Amino acid sequence: MPLRYTEDPASLESVKDISEKYIVFYSSRGEDGKLWCPDCRDVERLVEQTFTPTDGLSGLIVYVGQKQEYLCGNLPCCTPPALT
């Protein structure tokens, strides 16, 4: 299955009920369209190749936010989930 992408940045609602087998967390993209995280940029092509075949693995790309947001630690993906 091809990749599915969340909005950028992702909301918790967008990952609540997912059918994909794998979740890949990426930095958000800057105004230039590039991921701000160098590690994310390094693996972006490999991830796309891995999930491209229509009969292959299913994956969801979750964009975690811009660098300043990520560094302050207030992003939903960086905090423990609320237990009910």
54 located within any domain: yes
> What's the burial of 51, exposed, middle or buried (CB within 10 Å: 0-12/13-18/19+)?
buried
This prediction's pTM: 0.74
Which residue(s) pair with 50 in the sheet?
none
Domain that holds residue 23: 3-72
80 located within any domain: no
Q: Is 38 helix (H, G, I), strand (E, B) or coil?
A: helix
- Token duo for residue 83: 């237990």
Predicted confidence at residue 45, as pLDDT, reads 93
Which residue(s) pair with 22 in the sheet?
59
66 located within any domain: yes
Predicted confidence at residue 35, as pLDDT, reads 93
In the predicted model, what is the mean pLDDT of residues 1-15? 74
The number of distinct structural domains making up the chain is: 1
Residue 65 clears pLDDT 90, i.e. is over it: no
Cis preceding-peptide flag for 2 (omega within 30 of 0): no
Q: What is the pLDDT of residues 27-64, one digit of tens each?
A: 989 889 999 999 999 999 999 888 887 777 888 888 88
Q: What is the pLDDT of residues 67-80, one digit of tens each?
A: 877 777 666 666 66
